[in-house]
Structure 1
Amino acid sequence: MASSNKRDAILDAAADLLAREGRDAVSTRAVCKAAGVQAPILYRLFGDKQGLLDAVASRGLAAYIAEKRRITPSGDPVEDLRRGWDLHVGFGLAEPALYALIYGSPRPGAEPEGAKQAAEILAGLVHRVALAGRLRVPEERAARVVHAAGRGTTLSLIAMPEAERDMEAARIVREAVIHSITEPAPSA
């Protein structure tokens, strides 16, 4: 098996274990067994278990990032920010184990590349709000507030049994955050 095929097989196995059984199931031994490779190959390709988890996170974020980049700007940058929030929450609910891997156990200075790209997209959405003259706080702070609230909201929803998820509470948080960082639209 070629090195790239082994890498893909290992990533597929790790992502499958993560989705089916959670982070604790993603041991190097279980991943190697599921991928049909020996441990030295995993360590050569990923360095260690954390390197593997980071690669799984970055790979899992790729589709989300592509979707987020496809958001076509509307005439209302605040509405675009809302859509970005909803996409973020939707990603977390569709991929709860992956989302928890990416955002649930932060390590200072060790954010997955895909998470950095998502933060850059958010910063771009916030910048458009600023260009429209509708931001009431500095751009960097606004992006941090939206990111922190969106992350906390999504992790809270993931922690709830699916039948009990309060999407209205998530909407209220979104609107409170948007209200706190933006000025009302100018009157026509």
Structure 2
Amino acid sequence: MGRVSQPHLRRMPVQQRSADRLARILDACAELLDETGYEELSTRAVAARAGVPIGSVYRFFGNKRALADALARRNLDSYAERIAHRLRELPAVDWRGALDVVLDEYLAMKQTVPGFAMVDFGAQIPVGAPAAGPNHEVADRLAGMLAAHLGREADDGLRRAVLVAVEAADALLQLAFRVQPSGDAAIVAETRELLRAYLARVLD
């Protein structure tokens, strides 16, 4: 599922067979994260679950942190692709509809994609996160996509507003999933209203 396009790989796959093996390794990592959590994750367990030699894992990844980072990046790539697909069906003037797509696709991935609840885009793993954090990259992607959809420039004001919205949504959605494992509907609804009110001053 999805592609991996980031510097966490020691080596990028060239042949389709290598790409398929990489996908199996990441799928196995995602399944094990759901079953055991990050602390119990190991490259040996991932290799066994994926049905590949341990050397195949080390061909792409130096350690389990790199595995989790690659899975987080694959999640972000997949998230962006899902949003882009949905935005093509919306009128360009409908920024509220675009916001609904951004939230709904996140919730759908949180509830259905293996490993996503543990790593999402990288924010849930506590060790070694870059100073800027994954939310900056998520916000940059979303600001660019939103600007393109609305036919405007992704200027500093829009990027800052989207970053604030992403940080606020991240905290509130974490709360929603702490209150209810499937995501508390009332808190999700409040989050949606908060983001609409905040972004209206930039996008209306």
- Give 1:5 deviation, angstroms: 4.6
CA distance in 2: counterparts of 1:17 and 1:31, whole angstroms? 7
Instruction: Please state how far the C-alpha of 1:167 moved relative to its aligned partner.
Output: 1.2
Which residue in the other structure is 2:118 paired with? 100
Q: Percent identity?
A: 27
Instruction: Give the partner amino acid of 2:80.
Output: I
Task: Note if contact 2:28-2:50 (Cα within 8 Å) is conserved in structure 1.
Answer: yes
Matches within 5 A, 1:103-142: 103-105=123-125, 107-109=129-131, 116=137, 118-124=138-144, 126-127=146-147, 131=152, 138-142=157-161
Q: Could you tell me which residue of structure 1 aligns to residue 11 of structure 2? A: none
Counterpart Cα distance in 1 of 2:22 and 2:108: 28
Query: Larger radius of gyration, structure 1 or 2?
Result: 1
Asked whether the equivalents of residues 165 and 195 of structure 2 are also in contact (C-alpha less than 8 Å), the reply is yes
Whether contact under 8 Å (1:126, 1:139) holds in the other structure is no
**Corresponding residue for 1:65?**
80
Residues 177 and 184 in structure 2, CA contact (< 8 A), matched pair in contact too: no
Alignment correspondent of 2:66: 51
- Give matches, 1:173-188, under 5 Å: 173-183=191-201
Q: Aligned partners of 2:145, 2:22: CA distance in 1, in Å?
A: 34
Q: Distance in 2 between matches of 1:130 and 1:181?
A: 16
Change in 2 beyond 3 A, CA 1:31/1:175: same
Name 2:54's counterpart in structure 1: 39
Residues 158, 202 of structure 2: 8 Å contact kept:
no
Could you tell me which amino acid in structure 2 is paired with residue 15 of structure 1? A
Give the 3 Å change call, closer, same or farther, for CA 9–125 of structure 1 in structure 2: closer
CA distance in 2, matches of 1:25, 1:76: 44
| TM-score, normalised relative to structure 2 | 0.68
- Cα separation, 2, equivalents of 1:13 and 1:166: 29
The answer to which structure has the higher helix fraction is 1
Partners of 1:88 and 1:150 within 8 A in 2: no
3-state secondary structure, aligned to 1:24 = coil
For residues 26 and 69 of structure 1, what CA distance do their matches in structure 2 show?
32
Letter in 1 for 2:98: D
Deviation at 1:54?
1.6
| C-alpha contact (below 8 Å) 2:33/2:118 kept by paired residues | no
For 1:108, the aligned partner's letter is P
User: Per the alignment, in what secondary structure is the counterpart of residue 46 of structure 2?
Assistant: helix
Contiguous gaps of at least 5 residues in structure 2: 1-16
Total equivalences in the alignment: 177
Q: Compute the displacement of 1:67 (Å).
A: 1.0
Return the letter of the residue paired with 1:148.
E
TM-score, length-normalised on structure 1? 0.73
Q: Name the SS of the counterpart of 1:182 in structure 2.
A: helix
Secondary structure of the equivalent of 2:195?
helix
Q: Which runs of 5+ in 1 are unaligned?
A: none
| C-alpha displacement of 1:38 | 3.7
In the alignment, the residues of structure 2 paired with residue 41 and residue 27 of structure 1 have an alpha-carbon distance, to the nearest angstrom, of 14
